[in-house]
Amino acid sequence: MSCIMKCRGHVFVALIALSCLLPEGSRTFQRRNSFNAITEVLGFSWGNCKSGDAAFMKTLNVSPDPIPIPGYLTTIASGTTSVELASPLSVNVTLEREVAGIWVKIPCIEDLGSCHYPDVCDLLNQLIPPGQDCPEPLRTYGLPCHCPFKAGDYTLPSSEFYIPNVELPGWLTNGQYKVQGVLGSSDKELGCLKISFSLHSNNNFSPLFEKVRQDLER
C-alpha cells in the first residue's frame, strides 16, 4: 500500500512497514527520470498473516474503491500490541506480482520491493525528527509517531488524507500485487500483515515482467 499512500507515521508497525517504508524507497526513484504515475488502486484487501502475534491489526478500512491518485483517501484503523515495540524494530517486506497466473517475487531494488528494513524506528526518526510534533491526524487523536510504542490498543477514527501524485519505477506497472510485512525484534516475529491490490497506471510496458512472462510460457 505503502507504494499506495503518503507516509503518515501510523502507530501500528505492520502498517508502518507498508505505508512508511515504501515511500522512503520511492523518494529514491523520484530522482530519476523514468517514472510512471499511478492513477488507480483497486480491490484493496488486507489480513493478519496468523493469529496469536503480539502486534496485530483489528480493523483497517480504506475507501473509495478504486482509490484515485492523486485524490482523497479515507481510512479507519485499529490495532493492538501486547508488548512494547522498541528499537531495533525490523520489518521484512515481500512484494509479489501475478505473472501468467504465477506469483513472482519482486527483488529489492534500491529500497523498493522485497526488502529488509533493520530498524523502523530509525526510519520514523528520519521522516519525523524527534522533538517535532506528530502530523495530523495523529496529533489530534493522541497517537504516537516514534518508538517506543507502549503496549495497548490504538485507534485512528475516520480520517481523510490527500494523496499526491505518487511516482513509481517503470517495472511497477499494471497488475495484481500482494505485499506482506513481517515485524520482528531480536529475531522474534511480533506481527505480520498482508495486503493485496491491483494497480492501473498509464504505463503498460514493463520489460522485466514481459521477460518473465515469456520465460513462463516457453
Cell numbers found for residue 31: 530522482
Q: Does residue 61 contact residue 41 with C-beta atoms inside 8 Å?
A: no
Give CA–CA dist 182/61, Å, rounded.
20
- Per-residue pLDDT at 60: 92
The residue count of the chain comes to: 218
- Per-residue pLDDT at 161: 85
Question: pTM for this one?
Answer: 0.75
Give CA–CA dist 113/9, Å, rounded.
20
- Per-residue pLDDT at 111: 81
Q: Which residues of 137-156 are buried (b: 16+ CB within 10 A; e: fewer)?
A: bbeeeebebbbebeeeebeb
- Per-residue pLDDT at 87: 94
- Per-residue pLDDT at 149: 94
- Domains of the chain by range and CATH? 13-217 (2.70.220.10)
Rg (alpha carbons) of the chain, rounded to whole number: 17
Pairing between strand 90-99 and 67-68? unpaired
- Per-residue pLDDT at 166: 67
Give CA–CA dist 199/161, Å, rounded.
19
- Per-residue pLDDT at 113: 87
Which residues are 179's β-sheet partners? 95, 195
Rounded mean pLDDT for each run of 10 residues along the chain, 218 residues in total: 32 35 33 47 92 93 89 92 94 93 91 90 91 90 93 94 76 87 92 92 51 49
